[in-house]
Structures are given as C-alpha cells and as structure tokens.
C-alpha cells in the first residue's frame, strides 16, 4: 500500500490521529494522501461563488423553497393541486447543499425551473381571495380612506419585498412585524389585512372572558361597577405575566398624572409637610375672613356683632324659641321633681 485517496477533512489529514498518520505508523511510512479532485473542485466552486451576489440570491431562494414546502403539509398539498391543475408531473423542491453540494444545488435548480409554472400558480396565493375581500368590503374600505385600486398592486409588491429581503426570516414573521416594517410603503393592502385579522376565528376569547368574570365578580364583590369590572378583566386577560412585567411605565405615569406625595410615609418629610399645610390653611382662612369682612355691609356687620355679644351673654335664644319650648321645659322639670 503506497497511498490512499480522501477528502480534506481533518479526520483524514490529521498529523496525530488522522487516517494518514495511522497508516504511516502501522502500515507503511511512505504512504501518501491524495486529496479527492471532486471535493477540491467543489471547494473551489464554493470559494468562487462567495463573491457572487446573484448566486447567493438563487441559493437562498432554493433553500427557502425547500424549507417552505418541507415544513408544511398544507403547502405541499397546495403545490400538488397546482401541478394537477396544469396537468404536469409533480416535482417538489429538493434540498440544496449536503455531501454532494454541487450535485444537490444543480438538481434543486433544475427542479425549480421545471416546476416554475406550478410554483407561480401556487405562490400567487391570496390573489382571488384579496379580490373577493375588496369587493365585499369596498364600502368600508373606502370610508376608512383605503385606496382599493392600489391594494392589489401593493399585494404583489409586498410579496416580492418579503421574499427578496435577506435581513429576516419570512417563515418566523408575523403580520404585526410586517405591518411595522412596511406600513408606510404598502398602507392600503396592510389596512385590508388589518380588517381581515379583526374577523373572529372562534369563541375562545369570549369563553376566557366569561371564566375570568366569574373569578373576579364573586358573591362578595357583586357591587362592582361595569367600568371597574372592565379594567380588572383587562388587567387579568391582557397584562403580561408577573415575571415579565415592567412596572416602571405605570409608576412614571402615576407620578406625573397628578400631584403626588411620594415621601408622605417618611416621618421627617411628613412633619415638614404638616407644618406647611397648617400654615397654608391658616393663611387661606385669614384671607377668607378678610374678604368676608370687606364684602359685608356696615349695618349687617353691626347686627352680626350684636347677635354675637347677646349669644355670649346667654341670650342666644329668641322670644319665639322660649315661647315654643317653655311648656316642654316646665314639664321636664316637673317630671324630674316627681322622680326625686
């Protein structure tokens, strides 16, 4: 044995425990390693394609097509129906890369070219549904300021933008993320999507609301107002968990919404606050008394002073009061005498 052929992996070329080293120690010291030409061509092709932006786009497209259909049985079934409608043989997207990288990539590209009509028919999903929604909600969309004529064009452009962008994974995106990223570019079609997403898909939310209502409004809390009940249920149903809740925005809003006293429980601050409040109250009372005295006529002020003096002298009861209650007072005195 004078040599063997293998790829350039470290398991073959290692100087300590590689296959070539083991052969040289145990079989023949003159054994040489010949690196596989196919592998070397493939590595050279990879290095050359790293600088090609077009190849990266094609490679990512093939990889995303395979992932898109491989992970969804529903999409696979829809593509098969598209092949049947075109009366063509079913050719599914295949994996790129792998042990025979060039061969796998070439086969995936050839399959995509053959299946292109069916792929376009299937991937143009939503076009007929979009037209149906626009026709049904035409009046509502127009009132909301949505240009229904531009929605279909924006739908095609939006799909192209999603598939041509490499900065995010389209399979993990939500409509909320899409709306945040593309709302300014495609406002009309995303407005239609908001309308579609507002349609209820089930009664589970209602059932959870009824269950939470029973937990919140018990027999001991049956006097809760509707506004309080609504706020409590909103907190229970839509608030994050305790572990992920950030209270700082609520605290800041509470502090800045009205004049608060955050140091009220501090004894030192409370004493200073009590002194300030007492001085403020005295000043307000003195100001009110001065204002009242200045607004009162002279005759009325004289009569009020006379009434005050007579009341202090023990003559606060007028004659009518004495005449009305004199009999009652005499009877009370007589009853007290009898008891004694």
Strand extents, DSSP E, the chain:
3-6, 32-35
Distance CA(139)–CA(131), nearest Å, equals 14
The average pLDDT across 16-27 equals 85
Bigger pLDDT: 269 vs 8: 8
Residue 142 scores a pLDDT above 80: yes
pLDDT tens string 131-140: 888 889 988 8
> Where do the domains of the chain lie?
3-48, 53-123, 127-197, 204-239
Torsion angle in degrees (nearest 10) through CA of 221, 222, 223, 228: 70
Residue 289 scores a pLDDT above 60: yes
Bigger pLDDT: 16 vs 99: 16
Q: What separation in angstroms does the CA of 118 have from each of 71, 113, 210?
A: 19, 10, 47
DSSP 245: -
Query: Which residues share a beta bridge with 3?
Result: 32
Least confident piece of the model among 87-101, 106-120, 188-202, 286-300: 286-300
User: Cβ(79)–Cβ(119) under 8 Å?
Assistant: yes
Return mean pLDDT, the chain. 78
pLDDT tens string 90-115: 999 988 876 667 888 888 889 989 98
pLDDT band at 36 (very low <50, low <70, confident <90, very high): confident
Distance CA(114)–CA(95), nearest Å, equals 15
pLDDT tens string 37-82: 878 888 888 888 888 888 888 888 888 888 888 888 878 888 888 8
User: Cβ(155)–Cβ(127) under 8 Å?
Assistant: yes
């Amino acid at each position: 044995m004078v040599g063997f052929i293998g790829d350039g992996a470290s398991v073959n070329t290692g100087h300590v425990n590689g296959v070539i080293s083991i052969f040289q120690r145990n079989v023949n010291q003159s054994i040489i390693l010949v690196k596989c030409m196919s592998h070397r061509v493939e590595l050279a092709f990879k290095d050359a394609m790293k600088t090609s932006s077009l190849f990266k786009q094609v490679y990512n497209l093939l990889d995303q097509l395979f992932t898109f259909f491989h992970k969804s049985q529903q999409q696979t079934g829809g593509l098969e129906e598209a092949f049947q409608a075109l009366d063509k043989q079913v050719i599914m997207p295949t994996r790129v890369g792998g042990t025979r990288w060039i061969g796998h990539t070439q086969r995936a590209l050839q399959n995509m070219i053959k299946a292109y009509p069916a792929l376009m028919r299937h991937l143009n999903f939503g076009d007929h549904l979009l037209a149906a929604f626009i026709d049904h909600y035409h009046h509502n969309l127009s009132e909301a300021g949505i240009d229904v004529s531009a929605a279909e064009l924006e739908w095609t452009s939006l799909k192209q933008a999603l598939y041509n962008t490499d900065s995010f994974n389209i399979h993990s995106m939500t409509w909320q993320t899409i709306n945040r990223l593309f709302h300014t570019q495609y406002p009309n079609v995303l407005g239609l999507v908001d309308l579609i997403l507002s349609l209820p898909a089930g009664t589970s939310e209602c059932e959870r609301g009824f269950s939470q209502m029973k937990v919140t409004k018990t027999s001991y809390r049956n006097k809760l107002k509707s506004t309080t009940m609504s706020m409590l249920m909103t907190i229970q149903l839509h608030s994050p968990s305790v572990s992920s809740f950030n209270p700082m925005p609520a605290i800041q809003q509470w502090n800045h919404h009205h004049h608060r006293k955050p140091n009220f429980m501090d004894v030192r601050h409370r004493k200073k606050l009590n002194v300030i409040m007492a001085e403020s109250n005295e000043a307000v009372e003195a100001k009110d008394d001065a204002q009242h005295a200045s607004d009162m006529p002279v005759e009325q002020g004289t009569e009020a002073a006379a009434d005050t003096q007579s009341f202090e002298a023990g003559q606060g009861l007028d004659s009518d009061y004495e005449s009305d209650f004199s009999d009652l007072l005499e009877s009370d005195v007589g009853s007290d005498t009898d008891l004694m």
